[in-house]
Amino acid sequence: MGKNFLIVLSLLNAALVATSVGAEQSDEASTYIVHVVHAHAANTVHLAQAHYTSFLQRILPSHMHGGLAPRLVYAYSHAATGFAACMTKHQAAHITDHPGVLAIYPDEHLQLHTTQSPSFLRLSPSVGLVQASNGGGTGAVIVILDTGIYPKGRRSFTADSSFPPPPRTFRGHYVSTRSFNATAYCNNKLVGAKFFYKGHEAMMGRLINETQESKSPLDTEGHGTHTASTAAGSAVPSANFVGYANGTAQGMAVRAHIASYKVCWRDDGNASCATSDILAGMNEAIADGVDVISLSLGGLKPQLYNEPTSLGAFNAIRRGIVVSTSAGNDGPGTMLSSNMVTGKIVLCYGTKNTTNPIVQEAAVQQAGGVGAIISIAPEYGDFLQSSADILPTSTITFKDTETIHSYTQSVADPVARIDFLGTVINQPPSAPRVAAFSSRGPNRFAPEILKPDMIAPGVDILAAWTREMSSTMANVIDNRRVEFNIISGTSMACPHSAMMTTAYNVDNDGNAIKDMATGQAAGPFELGSGHVDPNRALDPGLVYNTTADDYITFLCSLGYNSSQIALFTNDGSTTDCSTRPRRSVGDLNYPAFSVVFARSGEQVTQRRAVTNVGANTNVVYNVTITAPPGTTLTVTPTRLAFDAQRRTLDYSITVSAGATSSSEHQWGSIVWSDGQHTVRSPVVATWQ
């Protein structure tokens, strides 16, 4: 009886193992990002790959190593503590329960956010920010995490004999491949070029198609080249796009160095970026000692603690690295009859006309049309932007389209003519304006923190372009190759904003900045604190310093536990929120205020600390208050007296909700002034 029992038990165990192995074999593998507690971190960066491979082997039972065995993709030591690995759902579920694992979540793909800027921003080689920074960012290394860079024959990435080498603190380098000769391309301007592709290949389940994409730092899409030259491209005289926007093209920090880390890859015509590759790029950038990390890409995550770029940014900021990201472009049929279109200018419009204009032009061209008038969707209001048209085209507002359509219906033989007037500047409507595509607030993570921070140029930006991609990004129908291209999107605004913190709130005519989607004055959810003003950043008067410790307190106020906060701190420390000062979410030392009311009559108080960085240490600032309609706003104290011993002073605001409000959101401001400086903070009130 005993022997029979043992035989049955053995058969049962074998069956269970076989079932588990069978489940593993039928379970598809995916890429996961795994954060580990500090005690399980690799001792050295050089041993990290071997350490985490061994870690996976130790914590997974033997039967989970058969079939689809886990495979390490990346090891992280700077932007995060942990690794990315390709594994099955069963393996990932088993790892989740291990005490050495803080968090595990699946990899995902993020999307890219897709000449007159220096003069528009009031930048001059002889005065202001460019002159004061010894020629625009001398010594700074800006890393662009994007689609790579195309330096072949691109004057934006050249350096003359006077251009200094990168600082000794920069430890990066460049990688050569068959299609990217780093020795020929890299110089004192382009000081780093790397690529991170393992996460993308693991997610796609196949190798990168090198007939479409270059597995190298080379940009075959154009986006990375454009953003890199916008940030720090060398001055190029007589730059233009097919004759338009002619002038000197240069980056915002013309004397800064560029490092390009390719993390986004073309696949079947579309470019996307795996979060594991992005985190690897940020990890490398921190290790290399860059000064600025610029990311013009994004996605949606429900919480900050499982958003890789937030975790990487926190660890970069702790090391004194500026991190700049773009907010996104999520703001507000192709068949034609040839016998109706041949030789004509075609009007393309509809209430839901969201088709790419180039696709519409191609349809007109294929049908024999000689030109196109393309309407934007009505929700875009008065917003118009340039495109690299493949035939004579005029883009107009939906309102103007209705007028033209009415004309075509009222006459038997309507006539149209397109006049090309070249590049026109300093003409109505006055700039700046908020683009219709620009993503809006409020902040989905914490409505008490105003987002966006500010706005910057992002429409019709002329910058360097790759020769691997046509100007329309449609190689099938467009074989044009250009040195410079004009594109729009918050990606183009992101590099402008990297080192700029002050803002203004009126256009060039002195009127409130308008939202082009509505035609009305833009509010804080559209423009944040205002439009960047680089020259004022040289002498802002007061600044709001925010330390890593302030952010940890902020995470406590969000209700994050010690394990979730450990994903950010990355140093083995344990945060006990009960021992820290009790602060509300809105108490983060941010140069803007956003209060949320649950009921009428409610009072909300938020605290701030400002530091005097002006040349005069003995100075007094007084406050001017503009309360949001439907509220009462008080500031305590109303006078800040700084001296050599008191460079940093505290104040608070209290906003009281009235009985009713005519709108869900209202806004006002507070302005501190010493007679020379004005330091403005928007105040937004929201009724839930």
**What is the rounded CA–CA span in Å between residue 466 and residue 120?**
25
Q: Which of 632, 633, 619, 630 is nearest to 679 (CA)?
A: 619
The Cα–Cα gap between 589 and 592 comes to 9
Here the tokens at position 271 are 């470019």
Is residue 223 annotated as part of the catalytic site, yes or no? yes
Element (H, E) at 461: strand 461-464
CA atoms within 13 A on the CB side of 197: 22
Query: Which class for 475: exposed (0-12), middle (13-18), buried (19 or more C-beta within 10 A)?
Result: middle
The DSSP result for 179-201, as a single string, is TB-HHHH-SSSEEEEEE--HHHH
Structure tokens at 413: 């033989």
Q: Which of 491, 497, 656, 669 is catalytic?
A: 491
- State the catalytic residue, choosing from 51, 223, 257, 677: 223
CA distance 122 to 106: 45
Are the C-beta atoms of 254 and 135 separated by less than 8 Å? yes
Residue labelled with tokens 């430890």: 171
Tokens standing for 423?
């590049």
Q: Is 491 a catalytic residue?
A: yes
Q: Strand 371-375 to strand 345-348: parallel, antiparallel, or no bridges (unpaired)?
A: parallel
Angle (deg, nearest 10), helices 548-557 and 308-318: 140
Residue with tokens 């002050």: 502
620 close to 602: Cβ distance less than 8 angstroms:
no
Query: Backbone phi, then psi, for 204, in 5-degree steps?
Result: -80, -20
255, 231, 257: which is closest to 137 by C-alpha? 255
- Report the C-alpha gap between 685 and 630 in whole angstroms: 9
Q: Do residues 87 and 70 make contact, with C-beta atoms less than 8 angstroms apart?
A: yes
Q: Where are the alpha helices (DSSP H) in 439-598?
A: 490-497, 524-527, 548-557, 562-569
Give the Cβ contact number of residue 288 at 10 Å.
21
Three-class secondary structure of residue 319 per DSSP = coil
Burial label, 678 (beta-carbon count in 10 A; 0-12, 13-18, 19+): middle
Cα–Cα nearest to 253, from 184, 195, 324: 324
Give the count of alpha carbons within 13 A of 461, CB side only: 34
Query: CA–CA separation, 462 vs 485, rounded Å?
Result: 6
In whole angstroms, give the CA distance from residue 360 to residue 338. Answer: 14
146 given a catalytic annotation: yes
Per residue, the 3-state secondary structure of 496-533, as one string, reads HHCCCCCEECECCCCCECEECCCCCECCHHHHCCCEEC
Q: How far apart are CA 526 and CA 432, in angstroms?
A: 12
484 backbone dihedrals φ, ψ, rounded to 5°: -125, 150
Q: Could you tell me the CA-to-CA distances from 585 to 29, 548, 559, 687 in Å, in that order?
A: 39, 15, 9, 17
**Nearest residue to 228 via CA among 519, 421, 20, 463:** 463
Catalytic residue positions?
Answer: 146, 223, 491
